[in-house]
Amino acid sequence: MISNNAEIMEEDLKDKYQLEEEDKASLIEYTHKVLNFISKDTLNEDDKKFITKETVDDFKNFVNPGFLEYRKSVTNGGQYASVEWKDAGLNSFIDVSGKEYIDCLGGFGIYNVGHRNPRVLKAVNAQLKHQALHSQDLLDPLRGILAKLLAEITPGKLQYSFFGNSGTEAVEGAIKLAKIHQKKKGKNYFISTVGAFHGKSLGSLSATSKGMFRKPFMPLVSGFKRVFYGDVDMMYKTVRASSMVGEDIAAIILEPIQGEGGVIVPPHDYFAKVKQICEDFDILLIADEVQTGMGRTGKMFCVEHYGVEPDIMCLAKALGGGIMPIGAVIATEDVFSEFFPNPFIHTTTFGGNPLSCAAAIATINVLLEDNMPERAAKMGTYFISELRKVTRKYKNIVKEVRGMGLMIGIEFENDKTGYKVSKGLFDKGILVAGTLINAKTIRIEPPLTIEKAQCDFVCKALDEVLSNI
């Protein structure tokens, strides 16, 4: 009887969920229309209208209408649509209506080698010609080569890499490595900092700090303690107190400069002092260089400024050269060897795929061959000093311009001003990071390929925007 019922249900479901022939045909036609415009180089007026309307409707009905409210609020005249369409050179992109933007947001730090860098694009295209993804069974060569390159360019004894597709996955990997390595010593606790951003999946969210992102999802992974960023004394006391009560710390996770937190540069000796605490208490130091890595701050990795060698490092964002998503967690042999006996203990299907690895290898080539970190240091020094010249005139609303290399923050007296400035710059064709949620400090993280003239253009626009406020 039970099986009879099941059969009847299957019959019902077939009818219920089978697409009607007509609907199927119209969906196929729709996909053709979209595939057609994807393959186009320039759009005609009908295309533009179609894409804009589709995008707005689809975000409303199928993505998340919340994005539209946000976009509407920052777009001139309260229109919804600024629908992006294509890149325009290394440092700019244009929307469907043809408006060009200098990209000072840099995808929150993914475009270090620029938009569609020709050498990264060439490598990915070439790889695509013979293999896109890996078999999942044989040994894939590019994964090994990329891991070797990372071991060479990262500081200290960092040697073995695990690849994922994002920053949050890199952080998950770091947390799991620290846990497995420290468990046998009875150390199960972590310390992260107020203002930290490490990602939004449940493990990394445990290390992330913003209450707004965390509270709805509690309880998170247990064992995370919090200290104020830059406060060595509090770090020491928390480590000591934790060990006195049997809650020994396995690892401390830190961003070398807090990005999402508002470009917070710690005291210069902070990292070295934390590293000393780690050594004294046998704690692992995890450097989350997802945003600060790959040349952004004027060195290949920001910890090089501090002369500190972490036990575990997280990378992502710019690692894929602004073309492919890829993240990596790289650790010393001592730590990573926990994964040797069973390499399947931590895996992900797409991690380390040939296309992403090709992109990352080409990115490292560009960063090294074009001396990008040095370029970021020089251009950053220029840009920061020019921004300071402009903002000095508006001391009543601008608190500070700070940063390292091309990771720059402008802090305002309040959220409202920062928001107005980022909106004003947007209208002038400059994209900066300053959202509704966090606009007190707007972030300027352009491609490291940004030209001096473009920096000057931004400074001039900022002057005009500030004088109107």
Ligand X SMILES: *Cc1c(COP(=O)(O)O)cnc(C)c1O
Chain residue whose CB lies nearest ligand X: 167
Confirm or reject binding of residue 291 to ligand X (CB under 6 A).
yes
Q: For residue 411, state whether it binds ligand X (rule: CB under 6 A).
A: no
Kindly tell me which of 293 and 373 has the beta carbon lying closer to ligand X: 293
Could you tell me the smallest distance in angstroms from the CB atom of residue 250 to ligand X? Answer: 19
- Nearest CA-CA partner of 122 in 318, 363, 316: 363
Residue 120 or 462 with smaller CB distance to ligand X: 120
Using CB under 6 A as the binding rule, whether residue 224 contacts ligand X is answered as no
In the complex, what is the shortest distance from the CB of residue 240 to ligand X, in angstroms, rounded to a whole number?
27
Whether the Cβ atoms of residue 302 and residue 296 lie closer than 8 Å to each other? yes
Nearest to 163 by CA among 422, 404, 359: 359
Q: Least Å distance between CB 327 and ligand X?
A: 6
Contact in structure between 346 and 162 (CB atoms under 8 Å)? yes
Q: What phi, psi does 26 have (nearest 5°)? A: -70, -30
Phi-psi region of 2 (alpha: psi -120 to 50; beta: other; left: phi over 0): alpha
Cα 113-119-123 angle, rounded to 5 deg: 120
Query: Using CB under 6 A, which residues numbered 165 to 204 contact ligand X?
Result: 166-168, 171, 197-199
**Measured from the CB of residue 259, what is the shortest distance to ligand X in angstroms?**
4
CB of 199 to ligand X, least distance (A): 4
Using the rule CB under 6 A, is 311 a contact of ligand X? no
Q: How far is CA 5 from CA 2, 10, 11, 438, in A?
A: 5, 9, 10, 55
Q: With binding defined as CB under 6 A, does residue 288 bind ligand X?
A: yes
Half-sphere exposure of 387 (CA within 13 A, CB side): 25
- Running DSSP on this structure, what letter comes out for residue 320? G
DSSP class per residue in 79-138: -----EEEE-SSSEEEETT--EEEESSHHHHT-TT-TT-HHHHHHHHHHHHH-SS--SSS
Contact set for ligand X, span 28-57 (CB under 6 A) = none
- Nearer of residues 181 and 198 to ligand X, judged by Cβ: 198
Among 103, 172, 255, 445, binds ligand X (CB under 6 A): 255
Between residue 312 and residue 371, which ones bind ligand X under the rule CB under 6 A?
A: 316-317
The residue within the footprint of ligand X, chosen from 290, 366, 398, 448 (CB under 6 A), is 290
Beta carbons of 190 and 175 less than 8 angstroms apart: yes
Size of the site for ligand X (CB under 6 A): 16
Give the CA count within 13 Å in the CB-facing half-sphere of 132: 1
Residue 116 C-beta: closest distance to ligand X, Å? 19
Paired with 50 in beta bridges are none
Binding to ligand X by CB under 6 A, coded x per residue (else -) over 90-109, reads: ------------------x-
Q: Site map for ligand X, 105-144, x if CB under 6 A?
A: ---x------------------------------------
Binding site for ligand X (CB under 6 A): 108, 166-168, 171, 197-199, 255, 259-260, 288, 290-291, 316-317
